[in-house]
A and B are shown apart, each in its own frame.
Chain A
C-alpha cells in the first residue's frame, strides 16, 4: 500500500472543489483513495475527513454504505458475476459456482496470488446480454461457464482482455481513478453499441420503419 502523497491530497481537494458544496465530492474522493491505496484505508478516511472538515466517523459511515468501496485490498481485477434473478436464471448461478471452484475463493475473496477478486454483483443494466459478468466494471456480455473460466485465466496470466462493449481492461486501481473523475482518454475504444442494443434498430432499418416526419412549420 502506498502512502497518500501530497499530490493525492491536492487531488482530493481538487475533487471537492468541483462542487458548490465540497462534501458532494466525497464519493469520488473515496474512489480516488481506492485508486491509490487499493481499498478505503483508515488513512484515506482521515484524509477525506480533513479535506471536508467533517469527522472520520462521518466519512466511514458513507464508505460502509456503498458496495463499491472495499475495506480489504482488492486484486488487480475485480471480477463480478451478476446473480440477480434474470442473469442467475439464464446461467449466472452456474457461472459463479464454476468460478468459485476454479479460483478456489468464495464470494468477495481474492485469489492467493492477489490478482483476482471474485464477487457476485447485482443487476448491472445489461440484461439483454445475460448472463453478464463485469471485469473492473467493464461489460463482459453473454458469458458461459467455459468463457468465464477462459476469461479469468487470461486475466491471471496477464494477457490482454477486451470488454465485449468497452475498452481494453485496465487494472482495478486505474478504473477507480477514472471513476474519481480523472479520465484516461480511452473513451474512443470499443463500439458504440453491442448487437442487442441495435436489435430493434436493425429490424426497423430492414423494414423501412421510422418515426413520423415532422411537419415543416414545427422545424
Chain B
C-alpha cells in the first residue's frame, strides 16, 4: 500500500535554489541520464513502455508506444530523416497549472527528461515550446539549458557517449490552440497555429515533415525517475491501467488550493480532505476532473478513482488532472458561458463547425444567463453541440461542448430558474474570495 501522497516530481521543490543545476544534482539529478546513455536507445523505449507511463497532457496515450511509432529503419524514406522531440510546455487548458510550477521550481527535471527522451527516439534536436505569457518560467528554462550545456549534458558527445543533442527553448506568443500538438508544430514552423489533418501522424511526418514526438512537460519530466528506479517501481504506484504518480492541481473554492502529487486513482474526497474541504459553510456543487474541456462532475462523483478509466466511466475524462472546484455560491450558467466565450475566442477558425458553432453557443448562452430566451434554447444548445462534436480537425470544438452538455445534464433546473426569474438567481459577488471582506469593486 503506497502513501496517500507520493512526491517525486515535486519532491525537490522546497529545496534551496531548487532551480539550479547544483541543487538538482545534490538531490541526485542527472544520475538517470548517466544510466540512460550506457544503454541502447531501444532499451529506453522498452523501459518506458514497461512502466505504463501515459501522457500527462490530457489524452493519456501510452508514452513509450508513441515513441515506438518513430520509424528507425535508416534505410526507409522516413527513418532516414532527422527525428525531433518537441516538449509541449504550452500549458493553457483552463484550470491546468502543474507544468508551470514544475518548470519554475525544477527546470532541470524537464531538461534531463528531454535529453533521455531525445536519446531514446534518436533525435539530435529538441524543442521546448513554452507559452509566452510566463516570463520567469522562460528565464528558468533558458538558464537550465545553458547550465546543462556547460556541464556537458547537452551539445556534442554527451557524457562521452557519442550522442549529440541541441535543445532550443522556444517561446510562443499567446494562443491556446498551440497546445494541440499539430497546431504547435505549425506554430513552431513560424506559422499561424492551426491543427493539421491526421494521418499522417507526427511520429511519421511532424516538424519539417520529419518524424517527431510531442510530449507534455509532466510526461517528459516523469522519464528520469523511471530510468533511475525502474518500471516496476513506477508501476507500484497507481492502478493497473493507470500507473505511476501524478500532479493533481486543486483550485477554486477549496480551503488550501495547490499541487498534490499522488498515485493515480486517488479520489476527490481524499484530496479535498487534505486540502481542507470547500469553503467554510459551503457545499461542493460541481468540478472539472481535468480542465474545462472535460465534462463537469458533481458531488455524487466524489469517490470515483481519478485515473484514466475511473473518470471515463463516470462520463468525463481525466484530462490534465486540473480539479477546479466550485461551491454552491457559483452560477453554473455563468461559469459555462465564460468557458464558452474562451473557446470562441481561441478557436483558430480553420474548421467551420468549431468556428461558427462556438459563436452561436455564446449567443444562446448569453441569452440564457440574462434570463431571456426559452426552454427550447437548451435543445438548440444540445443540437449545436451535436454538430460540433467530432466534426473538426482537432479537439478544441469537442472541448467546448463538454461544459455545456454536462451542465445541462446535471443542472437543467438551474438554466430554467434563470428563465423563471428573468435573470441570474445568483449573487456573483458572493462567489468571489473577498466577498465577505468588504472588498467590493
Contacts and interface: CB of A to CB of B under 8 A. Distances in A.
State yes or no: do A and B come from one complex: yes
Interface of A: 18-21, 23-28, 30-31, 52, 61-62, 65-69, 80, 83-86, 88-91, 93-95, 97-98, 101, 121-131, 134, 136-139, 144-146, 163, 165-167, 175, 178-181, 183-184, 186-190, 192-205, 207, 209-212, 214-215, 217-219
Interface in B2-20: 2-8, 10-11, 13-15, 17-20
Given A24-B188, A122-B345, A145 B324 contact: no
Contacts of A183: 139, 142-143, 146
Contacts of A65: 175, 192-193, 348
A152 to B, nearest CB: 14
A188 B146 CA distance: 14
Contact of A20 (B15, B82, B237, B274): B82
Contacts of B245: 211
A24 B228 contact: no
Contacts of A214: 228-230, 233
Interface stretch (B66-74, B88-96, B300-308, B310-318): B88-96
Contacts of B437: 144
29 contacts: A24-B170, A27-B190, A66-B173, A66-B193, A85-B94, A86-B324, A89-B252, A94-B439, A94-B440, A94-B441, A98-B441, A123-B96, A127-B94, A127-B95, A127-B257, A128-B250, A128-B257, A128-B259, A137-B133, A190-B136, A192-B106, A193-B14, A196-B258, A197-B10, A197-B258, A200-B10, A211-B6, A214-B228, A218-B232
A202 B260 CA distance: 10
Contacts of B218: none
Nearest to A183: B142
B135 A138 contact: yes
Interface of B: 2-8, 10-11, 13-15, 17-20, 82, 91-97, 99-101, 104-106, 125, 131-136, 138-140, 142-143, 146, 168-176, 187-193, 208, 228-230, 232-233, 236-237, 245, 248-253, 256-262, 274-275, 292, 322, 324, 326, 330, 334-335, 338-339, 342, 345-346, 348, 428-429, 431-434, 437, 439-441
A144 B432 CA distance: 10
A215 B232 contact: yes
A209 B4 contact: yes
B117 to A, nearest CB: 18
A45 to B, nearest CB: 13
A193 B171 contact: no
Contacts of A27: 132, 170-173, 187, 190
Contact of A209 (B6, B18, B132, B257): B6
